[in-house]
Amino acid sequence: MIETRELTKRYGDKTVVDHLSFTVKPGEVTGFLGPNGAGKSTTMRMIVGLDAPTGGSVTVNGRAYAGHTAPLREIGTLLEARSVHPGRSAAGHLMALAYTHGIPRRRVDEVIELAGLTSVAGKRVGAFSLGMGQRLGIAAALLGDPAIVMLDEPVNGLDPEGVLWVRNLLRQLADEGRAVMLSSHLMSETALIADHLVIIGRGRLLADTTVDDFTREAGGGGVRVAAAEAVRLRSLLAGPDVTISSSSAEELLVNGRTAREIGAIAARHQVALDELTPQTVSLEEAFMRLTRDAVEYQSAPSPSTAERKAA
């Protein structure tokens, strides 16, 4: 389990992580989401003691990372900046890591197989593709058979097969009872992998929710109904928590009733429907709405000719 409480990081007068509190629980995949520059990497670096917090605290399985005698057995990480000697083979790299952390040699063979690197284990890391490098990074993260796995942008640069592999692996690790945390700036991809979502913007917590709840709320765009008898249908659909607007004489936008309920009411009263369409909002759109005010570099529309002349 990872627990951050009021975790804060400032660089000069800029607050990069701002009183952030969340928990990454065992048996779940937690997606850690935010636009570029939101503070995800900084938070992850503080979790493993690579950056010191300005305020607040973070614990890994109940203690500060530095307080563990065998930290690789507690938490395995893949962070963005990896330093692997390009002249070393994949097996050599993992062996060196295992040796310095007192991890038995057979575990190296296990993670090489788990990461699908058996056929390239003897190859120079410098000649690895991006995808193979990611697999090696994940193999290294799993070396200590840790209770927590924390990966920064693990699917970045992977081809569809690689993405599927990461997705299945993370599911398997969570099903084994491990706490899995992965960062991303891609909502739709994360929704396919994660159970839980921690969404941040400008270092602040914007949402701490389940993927199911986030998806349900994102789908709350109402139902569009078209019927020649729209006026009669409108009064039939009215109710305490129902709001109905209309953009034309034969169209309604209904909030507070599902498409199924609307269809049943229309059938009961013999109102013929020309259209019955739930207005879904894509997950990516919902994520963009949530983080809109927290995007570090927004693309501004270029000034119009009139504005340029006035300037």
Least Å from the CB of residue 203 to ligand ATP: 7
Least Å from the CB of residue 184 to ligand ATP: 8
Output the six-digit token pair for 214.
Answer: 């986030």
Using an 8 Å Cβ cutoff, are 39 and 296 in contact? no
CA distance 94 to 77: 14
Decide: is 37 part of the binding site for ligand ATP (CB under 6 A): yes
Contact window for ligand ATP (CB under 6 A) among 39-47, 104-112, 124-132, 168-176: 39-47
β-pair partners for 7? 20
Per 3-state DSSP, the chain is made up of helix, strand and coil in percentages (nearest 5) of 40, 25, 35
User: Contacting ligand ATP (CB under 6 A), which of 16, 72, 223, 244?
Assistant: 16
User: Contacting ligand ATP (CB under 6 A), which of 1, 6, 11, 220?
Assistant: 11
CA distance 10 to 74: 27
CA distance 179 to 24: 6
Least Å from the CB of residue 206 to ligand ATP: 12
Contact window for ligand ATP (CB under 6 A) among 30-38, 59-67, 71-79, 216-224: 30-38
What string marks each residue from 287 to 306 as x (binds ligand ATP by CB under 6 A) or -?
---------x----------
**150-209: contacts with ligand ATP (CB under 6 A):** 185
Using an 8 Å Cβ cutoff, are 253 and 223 in contact? yes
Q: Which H or E run includes 177?
A: none
Decide: is 39 part of the binding site for ligand ATP (CB under 6 A): yes
Coil/strand/helix, residue 300: coil
Decide: is 34 part of the binding site for ligand ATP (CB under 6 A): yes
**Using CB under 6 A as the criterion, which residues of the chain lie in contact with ligand ATP when the complex forms?**
11, 16, 34, 36-42, 185, 296
